[in-house]
Amino acid sequence: MPLTLTVIRKRLAFMLIFASLALIALTGRVAWIQFVRGEELQKKALEIRTRDIPVEARRGNIYDRNGKELVANASVDSLYTIPLLVKDPQNTAKRLSSILDVEEERLLKILTRKSCFEWLARKLDAQTAQKIKALELPGIFFVEENRRYYPFQTLAPHLLGFTGIDNQGLTGIEKTFEKDLKGVPGRIIIEQDATGQDIPEPIHRYISPRQGRHLYLTVDETIQHFVERELDKIVARYQPKLAVIILMDPRTGEILAMGSRPTFNSNDWMNAPRETWDRNPAIWYNYEPGSTFKIITMAAGLAEGAVKPEDTFFDPGYIKVADRYIRCWYDGGHGSQTFAEVVMHSCNPGFVEVGLRLGVQKFYHYVKAFGFGEVTGIDLPGEAAGILIPEKKATNLNIATMSIGQSIAVTPIQLLTAVGAVANGGTLLRPQIVREIRDSSGSVVKRFQPEPVRRVLTPEAARQVGSLLENVILKGTGRNAFIDGYRVAGKTGTAQVVGEGGGYVTGRYVASFVGYAPVEDPRVAALVMVAEPQGGIYYGSQVAAPVFQAVVRDALHYLKAPKTPGLEKPKDPFVYEEPKFKVKVPNVVNYPVNEAISRLVGAGLTYRTQGEGPEGGIVYGQTPGPGAEVWSGTAVILNLEPPRIRGVGEVTVPNLQGLTVVEVADLLKKLDLHLELSGTGLAAEQDPPPGHRVTRRSTVKVWFRPPGQASQGPPAPADPEAPPAWGEPRRGDFVERP
């Protein structure tokens, strides 16, 4: 049927309308893609054809108060892959496996992933990185990263903290100031086609990272070294569970040094036992402060007028509160005495009476005002608040025991902060760790000022407390803390350890000392806390006071604090007659002389030497013998002359390799053999060798080396200028019972 003109026109109109609608739809779609979704699609296109390689920012450095570098950065290589560019994944995985010490299958899975970036290894050592670079493997690349570096490996590690694999702060200052230290990461952007090949005029952009800010601490590196030195001596002599020393400037609240034991190597923290780095004992360890807390009781009583220095007390040896008897450490009591003498004698009944005079409300007012029962706010993670009986539940018996430092738990930083308030005239300050934050150009971004929390004492009350505490040093239980040329105020403390199920654990104590100097213008306030010292000595006056004396003396000299002319230790000070008690004589045969003396003094005994032995000094005999029961203070005679060998039978020399000095000494003693040692650490070589038959009372030479050091024959002679391997004991200690 022939088409009519009308039909043709209709069809053309229909085609025109259809084409117009299609054009409008296409135009709309193009406009939608170009203008509405253009930015989104462009971003996706860039993601597909670009490779984004992160560039880690350098963390800010950490310096001491004088600008000495404590924490820095070391550049290291990290290994990554772009799987699309790996030509032979199987061969690449095989060649990398032996160098990286990673299973070949695991590497192959990474190399065959459909991704544009995968880490293979982070922060390689220089030798490993060089071996991989020499292979020139396609698709394998390096990027420079930073590893945290601590120049003084074991200097204040709990305070400084450490970082993780991504350079993120995990503990200490590194964690608290993470935002300031971490900086802003950079990027490398590379544009490639779908096959991984470079395209003409590609995007190849480097966005540089921005280094983190630098911290300038309140800590003084030199004073921190004094603290670490004394902590090492404490460990060598007493082998405690924990030990803490903190020094503060009481005028500002600035921490001058903070150290604790056990410790760890900041550069190798991952290989240290978790308990050595998990928490900082200076801010989380809760313990009953014992007599050191009497400073708070004294301050409250003087401030409220509940007691005056000249008030008289009578101590029959105990005081009854409710249905309990609280005894004085001094058998029979001190009798009639002034409050000044109560403080000097650390008399429990006297302090209990002061606490009861104050009553629950006033006593708790001062306990809380001095900051107990709450955190100090120091800029370190993991601070504990201590343990305080709720005021509403407190009884007179609770007040009585708290007055002498029992039934309350404090942290070392809490107690030192409170005593710092007494030292500075009555203002409680928040302890400070950081003085300044500076940017990478050295400009100061933030400066920290002393931060008063509240006034807790009037200057007059604080002065009275200081005067009474000075008498503790001159005439009382703190005599071992006396420093020639300086007026020192302080208090000893000895407290039993509370068990997990409640109640005190027999034979476990916390020895402590807290004080400040010079009294007239305090430059340093310090606390020494030694938890569970071993060896039979556990009194604060014996264990902690001498340590306070040593570290504060050196700090005052270093700070050039002016001395008081003519102030020397009294020749015949008032001291208590040291109570006698039965002790078992420890075995010191085969021990180095210094270690033998340390063990005897630790057991409450004295010593005398007899004869002259070879250089280095080994004890060949002792009188009384091991295990004998004697009174404390008894002198043990140490025979230093090697015995003459007589025909008294033969014994087989045991294998001593890997044993400590103590284990070797005890084992040879049982076999009636004598020890001649050289070096420190674990037994590495011996002469005669194991299995050799020798006459009894023969000498066995043993060479000791630090763990992990290769055995290559006897070591070279010791440096005559090197410090001794065994700490020198302190003498003339005095007793303060809890």
Note the helical H segments in 87-167: 89-100, 104-111, 126-135, 157-160
608 to 66, 587, 591: CA distances (angstroms): 47, 15, 15
Q: Are 423 and 467 in contact (CB under 8 A)?
A: no
3-state SS record for 638-697: EECCCCCCCCCCEEECCCCCCCCHHHHHHHHHHCCCEEEEEECCEEEEEECCCCCEEECC
**Active-site residue flag, 98:** no
Gyration radius of the chain over CA positions: 36
φ, ψ at 495 (rounded to 5°): -130, 145
- Catalytic residue, chosen from 78, 260, 266, 291, is 291
Give which of 180, 167, 227 is closest to 62, Cα–Cα. Answer: 180
Cα–Cα dist 324/72, whole Å: 58
- What is the residue whose two structure tokens read 């090197």? 722
Pairing mode of beta strands 452-455, 427-429: antiparallel
CB atoms within 10 A of CB 459: 12
DSSP assignment string, 278-328:
SS-HHHH--B--GGGGHHHHHHHHHHHTS--TT-EEEESSEEEETTEEEE-
Q: Are 656 and 664 in contact (CB under 8 A)?
A: yes
Q: Is 67 helix (H, G, I), strand (E, B) or coil?
A: coil
432 to 285, 566, 636: CA distances (angstroms): 19, 35, 49
Pairing mode of beta strands 606-610, 682-687: unpaired
Cα–Cα dist 178/34, whole Å: 43
Pairing mode of beta strands 699-705, 674-679: parallel
Catalytic residues: 291
